[in-house]
Structure 1
Amino acid sequence: MAENHLIKLILVENDPNVRFRLERTLENLSDIHVIASAPSQREAFALTSQFKFQMLVVDLDLPDGFGLDLIRKTASEQRDINIMVLANSNDDPHIVSAIESGATGYVLKSEIETHLVSAIRLLTAGGSPVSPSVAKSVLRALRTYTASSAERTTTNIQTNPLSERESEILQLLAKGMSFNEIGDILTISPHTVTAHIKKIYRKLQVHSRGEAVYEAAQMGLIP
């Protein structure tokens, strides 16, 4: 594997058992290399300053915070770094905050062995790996938030910049459906779905499914 194609990442996970699962899942891969790991934000801050890396995989349940400071600092200072969040459940209350802080991909800890490697590769390729159940959780949280801030939400409603087809796809994304499921429902190919989603991201100025759902809710595009 050429050096410029190697995905170098830093793991930040407090639980040694989960950290072992992560390292075991990622070992012996030709395109992914764990260059360092840390059990806390404090130690992770030092690592992100010391190493050159392409991805940060961070737990939301750290002993010195919820990983949000680390996500925020990394996203603001190293904009080319992809940030993958490890969530304990699809109802983790900090997922929306992680989106706002700059996270661009999400994997449930229960899915490490089955989804982590493909999620890392997808995120590096410009995709936005988010478990459908996590997307549903984000939408529920946003609806709760906007319901308590109805006046502000009304003020923020803007003209819909999306086409009718893009709006249809956005609604299905918000329901947590996969690209293949969206293609089946709309009778279009997954490739066409991907092309539309790229346009949605560009128009909303976002980089992931979670960010798209969040931004659309803020703009009043999701009922």
Structure 2
Amino acid sequence: MKALVVRGGWEGHRPVEATELYVPFLKNNGYDVRIEESPAIYADQAEMSETDLIVQCMTMSTIERDQLAGLREAVRTGTGFTGWHGGIADSYRASADYLQLVGGQFATHPSKEPALCGGTEDDNFLPYTVTMTELGQGHPITAGIGDFELETEQYWVLHDDLIDVLATTTHPVRPWHPWHRPITSPAIWTRRWGDGRIVVTTPGHSLDVLENPNVRTIIERGILWATRTASGS
């Protein structure tokens, strides 16, 4: 099996260090791993046709039209696509076609009470629960993993109805925020696109979150589940 790791974009998500956490897992499971520092490889039709899985960690950044077309075609014809946090759910903000492919887009991560904010990244670190859905309780990616707690960025996600939600997180009403009822966002989802499988895991802002046993297990299982299958089903 061939795995392609595509990393880069905003350095705050530590794309090199974050992806290096999972390269040993890929190699130990029999993947031949290629690492690229930009999405330019997506435009290489020959290379993409032989790629069984893409692990992307590319927060924000930009993508050219031929690169995105290559990515979409690869997934449509069976290449798996997975990633975590902003590396997949906040990539290529200017591309509606990328958003359609992935099915969900980071909108914000609500902050602490303003009086407690000091202008550092942990202003947006809140305690929250990742809650398994009925589908998630029996899915190969999340089966046996109960609801769990994190204290990190809690993603508010804009999404469509083609995603299959394995876990959610709920943003409560707080006096300093303008919404008037709790908002539930998908926290982990899968998506079928043609013959391809997509897995998005929204926790993963920092290395300690990626090393959380629940988060790491979900990402690793998602890698295996998304990989190209002979049947495409």
TM-score, reference length from structure 2 = 0.37
Structure number with greater CO (CA < 8 Å, separation at least 6) is 2
Whichever structure has more strand as a proportion of its residues is 2
Whichever structure has more helix as a proportion of its residues is 1
